Structure 1
Amino acid sequence: MIIGENRAQVIENIKTAVKKGKMHAKVELGDPILTKSERIKLVNDYWKQQKKFSHKLKNIIAQGIINIDTLILMAHTQIKNKKRAQGPKYGAIITSNHFKQTDSLPIKKLANKCHKKLYVVIEDSNLKLPGFFGFLMNNINAIPIVQSYQYLGREFPKHLQKVFDKKGWVLIYPEQEMWYNYRKPRPLQKGAYYYAAKANVPIISCFVEIQDLPEMEKNSNEFHKTRYILHVLPTIYPVDRLTVDQNAKRMRDIDYLQKKKAYEKAYGKKLTYDFDDDDIAGYVKK
């Protein structure tokens, strides 16, 4: 399933970003353009809607759609080392590579198998998406993030803690921006690990391997269909004797090395950031 137009241009944007060493650059086209004040209002309005009875009904519908999509679209997705995710008894942050609009579904499949409620951290502008995806973003179990010191320092941790208190999981993408079908793990931003250290919860480290299906199975002239293998890597726990910042750095470094090792084992080659067309899963080379 291909979501979004101009995939060829997006791939060119990825190539350019890799060449410039900008591994967290925005490469998608057509994202809503909002001012900072508009973003803050959008997120504040989102939380106000959460309290309404109408939202609770929409949430039931949206979560039902996500569960059906997970059953159907992830039917052939393998999960390796699922037991590693069953270790944490309380709340946790899950990290994974960010390569598609639906890449939370392998994690949702894992959460369902482990009987955990999953929340996904989303970019504020996703709340402004039109149509079906806008409905989902506004009504699934999501925690939007906005670049505001007050929100990130006060409000966001409170929303995370509510999930942790209920022994739930929060999926955060430390690569930040989505890079369509990009196979390689990218350098990780600090945020997810800072919040894990501050709340004293572990990181459930994951990496999604993307396999191309046979040539006769195509989504379009540009892409073969793909399937996923979700690798659950060793869980990373905070260390009591370290400060929040020290723990955040330690957990981030371990997580990156684990994802790097998982990539190299899955694809049988060393991780470098020299771009090759094979870096884009399913891409039909011209």
Structure 2
Amino acid sequence: MIEKDKGRLEVLARIEEYEKNGWFTKDVEEDPPTIPLTPDKVDYLNKKLSNKIATFFVNIGAKRFINNLVKNGQMVIKGIEGIENYEAIKDSGAILTCNHFNPFDNFAIHYALFPYMYRGNGKVLWKVIREGNYTNFPGLYGFFFRHCNTLPLSANFSTMKNFMVAMKVLLERGEKVLVYAEQGMWWNYRKPRPLTVGAFKFAVESKVPVLPIFITMNDSDKIGGDGFPIQEYTLHFLPAIYPDPEKSTKENMEMLKDKNYAAWKEVYEKVYGIPLTYSCDPDKIK
């Protein structure tokens, strides 16, 4: 029997502590210090030929890598529900939101969307990622993070100005951008967490819909190298949510955030058959 990984046990203990305190956006992983991302270190729109070439080949490799994960049982996709909701907005720019419970949960979304993307049609999935994942994530995954249509956030004001310009350009030309509105990644956490408004600001300012995605999990009968059961994923693509032209930017951001959370909550309670509750006092949720 494989012993459970000490690091994962520590993360689970932090998740329990953070939920009790209502710290839902805090990171539970001990990530290395972030290297600041300056404007000269990122080409958001892949304007440079070298980046276009790298991205082309990385996307081919990433698609093969993800398909092999599924083929070898390292990532288990149990089901994909509501894909017609994606089809309804496939020709529009859109913000996609998803619960964040694994460093590579976006691989599951890629897999579900392969019939629509990465087929020589110019359609790809763009991802907003944390600064540190772009600047100092090691090895093959780090190379993927830097050359797989990623949009790194940054503490640098000038870099973020370029980020916002790129976001607007992408949405206006019909691209799909995945944003983790929960912020920090909570490993194998099954509940939806309260959302932040940033993702919804992008949608409101570019007048595009938000497509909520919620991934539910159950333990498989296979044990991973960390000593924990490999999770079986079911992806739920939910109906798109649209900004209201009669509302202000702030009102729309709150409205989209609340509707997204409510949609996730409904799926959680239906699939798991239990009401959504947290261990913290309601007034501590922040």
The structure with higher relative contact order (CA 8 Å, sep 6+) is 2
Q: Which residue in the other structure is 1:80 paired with?
A: 81
Gaps of 5+ in 2: 118-122, 281-286
User: Distance between the aligned counterparts of 1:8 and 1:178, measured in 2?
Assistant: 15
User: Aligned to 1:135, which of 125, 131, 143?
Assistant: 143
Residue 86 of structure 1: CA displacement?
1.3
Aligned to 1:284: none
Determine the structure 1 residue equivalent to 2:229.
Answer: 224
TM superposition shift of 1:32: 2.5
What is the TM-score of this pair, normalised by structure 2? Answer: 0.85
Kept after mapping to 2: 8 A contact 1:85/1:114: no
Q: Is the 8 A contact 1:74 1:105 kept in 2?
A: no
How far apart, in 1, do the equivalents of 2:52 and 2:248 lie? 39
User: How many percent identity over aligned positions?
Assistant: 30
Give the aligned partner of residue 280 of structure 1: none
- How far apart, in 2, do the equivalents of 1:266 and 1:74 lie? 23
TM-score w.r.t. the length of structure 1 is 0.85
Structure 1 residue aligned with 2:251: 246
Partner of 2:10: 9
Contact 1:49 1:55 in 2 (8 A): no
- Is 1:206 the counterpart of 2:213 in the alignment? yes
TM-fit CA distance, 1:61: 2.4
* Alpha-carbon separation, structure 2, partners of 1:191 and 1:147: 15
Match of 1:185 in 2: 192
Judge conservation of contact 2:44–2:166 (CA < 8 Å) in 1: no
Q: In the TM superposition, what whole-angstrom CA distance separates every residue of 1:174-202 from its partner, at most 9, and x where no partner exists? A: 00001111111100000000110011000
- Alpha-carbon shift at residue 136 of structure 1 (Å): 1.0
RMSD: 2.1
**Closer, same or farther: CA 50–272 of 1 in aligned 2, 3 Å:** same
Q: 1:104 aligns with which of 96, 103, 106?
A: 106
Q: Please tell me whether residue 32 in structure 1 is matched to residue 37 in structure 2.
A: no
5+ long unaligned stretches in structure 1: 276-286
User: CA separation of 1:221/1:246 partners in 2, compared to 1, >3 Å: closer, same or farther?
Assistant: closer
Q: Does 1:70 align with 2:66?
A: yes
In structure 2, the residue matched to 1:281 is none
Does the C-alpha gap of structure 1 residues 83 and 148 become closer, same or farther in structure 2, counting only changes over 3 Å? same
Q: Which residue of the other structure, out of 23, 45, 56, is the alignment partner of 2:41?
A: 45
Give the distance between the partners of 2:29 and 2:206, measured in 1 at CA.
Answer: 32
Alpha-carbon offset, residue 106 of structure 1: 1.9
CA distance in structure 1 between the partners assigned to 2:45 and 2:85 by the alignment:
36
SS at match of 1:6: helix
Secondary structure of the residue aligned to 1:210 is strand
Q: CA deviation at 1:112?
A: 2.3
Amino acid at match of 2:275: K
1:123 aligns with 2:130: yes
**Aligned twin of 1:166:** 173
SS in 2 for 1:237: coil
For residue 47 of structure 1, give the secondary structure of its aligned residue in structure 2: coil
1:59, CA displacement in angstroms? Answer: 1.2
Number of residue pairs aligned between Structure 1 and Structure 2: 264
Q: Deviations over 1:57-112 (max 9, x none)?
A: 32122212221133233465221010011112310000000011110012212332
Return the letter of the residue paired with 2:216.
Answer: E
Residues of 2 paired with 1:68 and 1:223: CA distance?
26
Q: Distance in 2 between matches of 1:17 and 1:147?
A: 24
